[in-house]
Amino acid sequence: MVNALDLQSFILRARVLKLYRQALKIAHRAPPQARGELKQSIRQEMEKNSECKDKQKIRYLISEGLERIKQLDEMLDMQGH
């Protein structure tokens, strides 16, 4: 049986996947000794929330995730990575 998503769920899923790709891309700029741990932390955070079905909470988690990767990106810029 196919698990069909409504349009809103489909869009949220796409936003979550985009966030995950952005986070991994930024993590790749981290120093090699920290990169693996950072990628693992990102994956754990995504898996921890993978069963969430509350669309409002998903939106909140996306905005929080965007803020966190923005901070990480700025920190890596300041360090010259």
Per the structure block, which two tokens stand in for 65?
A: 């995730």
In a domain, 42, yes or no: yes
Mean pLDDT by 10 residues, the chain (81 residues): 78 97 95 94 96 96 97 93 77
- How high is the pLDDT of residue 75? 94
- How high is the pLDDT of residue 15? 97
In a domain, 2, yes or no: no
What stretches of the chain show up as alpha helix (H) in DSSP?
7-27, 32-48, 55-79
Q: How far apart are CA 2 and CA 55, in angstroms?
A: 20
In a domain, 15, yes or no: yes
- How high is the pLDDT of residue 1? 47
In a domain, 33, yes or no: yes
- How high is the pLDDT of residue 81? 77
Domain that holds residue 63: 7-79
* 42 contacts 27 by C-beta, under 8 angstroms: yes
Please count the structural domains in the chain: 1
- How high is the pLDDT of residue 63? 98
In a domain, 1, yes or no: no
